[in-house]
Amino acid sequence: MSLSPDTTVLLVPGLRDHVAEHWQTLLQAQLPNARSVPPLEHDKLSRDARVAALDAALAAIEGPVILVAHSAGVMITVHWAAQHHRKIRGALLATPADLESPMPAGYPDTATLAQHGWLPIPRSPLPFPTILAASRNDPLATYQRAAEMASDWGSKLVDLGEVGHLNPAAGYGPWPRATALIDELLRAG
């Protein structure tokens, strides 16, 4: 990986926060200059609290930043970008959760998500280079919806094939392709 020592990779986890065997957690341990947005103690479902946590994590970093977001972390990232104007070198947006469509059992319903500020999903082009990596069989977003998000945000769409939600439940601990996609962002930004 061609990550320079002055570039920080900031991981933006989804609503389940940090999972021990998740590829983001493993990636953070692998990269010398990686950090993660800390988990929330309160207001865990609040979009505003999640965006504020991302903004605070970014404020603590000097120098260039690559964001690496997964699931609802992608939505945190796009809501942050709609409200803030810090220069970001690029963002890897992996398997975004389509919070506008009904979620499987065990996830918040759309009315609850709307009540906590998640809807609508911002659709403006993002002000930094992005790669959206989408799954063909993600239970949290159809490939078509992910492709629409990529188009709206100006993201390069990468078809991951059938990888589920790219999490431990789908058989993913390590995800080696993440480093190649981060490298691609580094070359683009």
Domain for residue 58, yes or no?
yes
Domain for residue 3, yes or no?
no
Domain for residue 38, yes or no?
yes
Q: How many structural domains does the chain have? A: 1
**Does the pLDDT of residue 1 top 60, yes or no?**
no
CA–CA separation, 128 vs 87, rounded Å? Answer: 8
Domain for residue 2, yes or no?
no
CATH number at residue 55: 3.40.50.1820
Helix (H) or strand (E) holding 51: helix 47-59
Listing DSSP states for 160-182 in one string gives: --S-TTSSGGGT-S--THHHHHH
Q: What tens digit of pLDDT does each residue of 79-93 get?
A: 999 998 889 999 999
Domain for residue 1, yes or no?
no
**Does the pLDDT of residue 120 top 70, yes or no?**
yes
Query: Does 120 sit behind a cis peptide bond, omega within 30 degrees of 0 on the bond before it?
Result: yes
**Does the pLDDT of residue 44 top 90, yes or no?**
no
Domain for residue 176, yes or no?
yes
Contacts 24+ apart (CB under 8 A), 183-187: 183/1, 183/2, 183/3, 184/131, 185/66, 185/89, 185/90, 185/91, 185/92, 185/129, 185/130, 185/131, 186/2, 186/3, 186/7, 186/66, 186/89, 186/90, 187/2
Task: Name the pTM for this structure.
Answer: 0.95
Range of the domain at 155: 8-188
**Residue 189: pLDDT band by 50, 70, 90 thresholds?**
low
Indicate the DSSP class of residue 139: T
